[in-house]
Amino acid sequence: MPKLSELERIVIDTDTCIGCGACVATCPYQALELDESGKSRLIWDLCQSDFQCVAVCATKSIHKASEASAALKSKPWFKFSKQLSPEEQREFEEWCKKYGVTAPPIG
């Protein structure tokens, strides 16, 4: 199993997402859900960087973290499935630094 900080993950543009649910249906790890407004949301700790969601999104609203703009990485698009352990929290912070993520988790 790769470390949490080694997985690249995705960034979702919630402005262009139309809530079709294709990404949610295609993710083999159940790492995506539709939020209260019908927009796609990433469940950060479940993502395994499978990237099928990037390919399936008709509005090109999902980007690999390394390819997303700083503006997108500053707007919240992800949450955690659970309370992170201190070690997981460290991995999360390492990931933020590596990919330039400034948005806080939702919730």
Binding site for ligand SF4 (CB under 6 A): 12, 17-23, 40, 56-57, 59, 61-62
Q: Which is nearer to ligand SF4, 35 or 94 (CB)?
A: 35
The number of CA neighbours under 13 Å toward the Cβ of 87 is: 2
Beta carbon of residue 2, minimum distance to ligand SF4 (angstroms, whole number): 24
Paired strand residues for 12: 62
Rounded Cα distance between 94 and 15, Å, is 27
Task: Decide if 83 contacts 44 (C-beta within 8 A).
Answer: no
Comparison of 64 and 84: residue with beta carbon closer to ligand SF4: 64
Residue 78 or 91: which CB sits closer to ligand SF4? 78
